[in-house]
């Protein structure tokens, strides 16, 4: 199938065409990459806009259950929902989303939903690019919501937040010392914190945990892109499908406010510029690193610098000289 035909089918919302296109953007082969870029360019300017929701949560917080319940609620309202994953560890663990897909049984059978496993590779830059491309493809295919989930390994939350309109942090009820389980730097990116498992015996703990996080959020300065009372913490029960409508309402309130005040579009434009420049940077560095001799020199000089045998500026100047035109 040629690129134009594939683009047409994606714009028609054909799932198999979408799946095929995502496989294309995930490929590491140079000829596939060229086709992928041609396809993405063919699709640029379609004006369709999904709400991109980033979702982070460590294993055990009930992320799959939440995505399924939340996704089913949205599709029941006639919304089309795509679920993508950024999981830099999936290559090592053998694909954690395989389990997710099994667990999201109902949602994966829903004609209004599309679930895509995480691309299996460990390198963060590559994962970011492929996921970002997949988001663009889902948007072109007419999805209303694109959920981008991450298990929160290393830099993945930052990457997901940089390609999302909203960043949601899903947490489990916890008492005392367990509260320390939230990684530094993640809380500060959250637009909304959802404390899951607010059901049964855990309900009182969930409510207390939620109040603790609400308190911690109040210590942070209000961001210009936020209306009053945001970011906020809420309790939900993915299991009993409780609090999900309220959570969705808050997401819409925040999104609506940002759209109204121009922050939504400004943020998207900033993200697009960020990824473009990042991509040019990565491309330039990739050229460097493709060259075995250059790669060896970069590693060697890096080692010298780390050992304190050369100055950072001196070694960098040296490296740039070797690359021609210092």
From 7, 10, 24, 36, residue interacting with its own copies (rule: CB under 8 A): 36
120-130 burial, b at 16+ Cβ within 10 Å, e below that, comes to: eeeebebbbbb
Distance in angstroms (rounded) separating the CA atoms of residues 71 and 105: 12
Contacts to its own copies from residues 155-194, by CB under 8 A: 177, 179-185, 187-189
- Least Cβ distance, residue 12 to its own copies (angstroms): 19
Which of these, 138, 123, 159, 18, lies nearest to 80 by C-alpha position? 138
316 touches its own copies (CB under 8 A): yes
Helix (H) or strand (E) holding 149: strand 145-150
Question: DSSP letter at 41?
Answer: H
**In this complex, which beta carbon is closest to its own copies, that of residue 115 or of residue 174?**
174
Contacts to its own copies from residues 70-89, by CB under 8 A: none
- Least Cβ distance, residue 128 to its own copies (angstroms): 11
Contacts to its own copies from residues 276-315, by CB under 8 A: 276-277, 279-281, 283-285, 287-288, 298, 301-302, 305-315
238 touches its own copies (CB under 8 A): no
Binding residues with its own copies: total (CB under 8 A): 73
For the record, the structure tokens of 139 come out as: 């948007």
222 touches its own copies (CB under 8 A): yes
Q: Is 315 exposed, middle or buried (0-12, 13-18, 19+ CB in 10 A)?
A: buried
Helix axes 124-140, 30-43, angle to 10 degrees: 40
Distance in angstroms (rounded) separating the CA atoms of residues 264 and 247: 19
Q: Which stretch binds its own copies (CB under 8 A): 2-10, 101-109, 239-247, 266-274?
A: 266-274
Can the peptide bond before residue 301 be classed as cis, meaning omega within 30 degrees of 0?
Answer: no
154 touches its own copies (CB under 8 A): no
Binding mask 96-135 for its own copies (x = CB under 8 A): ---------------------------------x--xx--
Neighbouring CB atoms inside 10 A of 103's CB total 16
- Least Cβ distance, residue 5 to its own copies (angstroms): 18
**In this complex, which beta carbon is closest to its own copies, that of residue 78 or of residue 324?**
324
């Amino acid at each position: 199938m040629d690129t134009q035909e594939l683009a047409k089918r994606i714009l028609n919302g054909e799932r198999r065409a979408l799946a095929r296109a995502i496989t294309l953007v995930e490929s590491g082969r140079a000829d596939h990459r060229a086709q992928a870029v041609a396809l993405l360019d063919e699709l640029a300017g379609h004006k369709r806009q999904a709400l991109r929701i980033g979702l982070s949560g460590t294993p055990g917080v009930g992320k799959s259950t939440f995505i399924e319940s939340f996704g089913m609620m949205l599709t029941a309202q006639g919304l089309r929902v795509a679920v993508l994953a950024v999981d830099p560890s999936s290559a090592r663990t053998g694909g954690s989303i395989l389990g997710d897909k099994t667990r999201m049984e109902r949602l994966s059978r829903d004609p209004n939903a599309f679930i895509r496993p995480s691309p299996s590779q460990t390198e963060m830059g590559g994962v970011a690019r492929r996921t970002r491309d997949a988001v663009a493809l889902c948007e072109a295919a007419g999805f209303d919501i694109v959920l981008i989930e991450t298990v929160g390994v290393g830099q993945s939350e930052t990457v997901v937040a940089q390609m999302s309109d909203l960043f949601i942090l899903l947490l489990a009820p916890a008492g005392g010392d367990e509260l320390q389980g939230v990684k530094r730097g993640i809380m500060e990116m959250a637009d909304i914190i959802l404390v899951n498992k607010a059901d049964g015996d855990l309900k009182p703990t969930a409510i207390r945990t939620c109040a603790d996080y609400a308190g911690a959020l109040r210590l942070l300065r209000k961001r210009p892109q936020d209306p009053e009372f945001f970011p906020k913490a809420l309790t939900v029960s993915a299991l009993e499908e409780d609090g999900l409508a309220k959570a969705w309402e808050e997401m819409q309130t925040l999104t609506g406010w940002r759209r109204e005040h121009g922050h939504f579009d400004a943020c998207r434009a900033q993200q697009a510029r960020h990824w473009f420049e990042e991509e040019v940077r990565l491309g330039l560095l990739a050229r460097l690193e493709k060259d075995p001799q250059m790669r060896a020199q970069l590693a060697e000089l890096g080692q010298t610098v780390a050992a304190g045998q050369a100055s950072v500026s001196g070694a960098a100047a040296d490296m740039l000289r070797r690359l021609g035109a210092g």
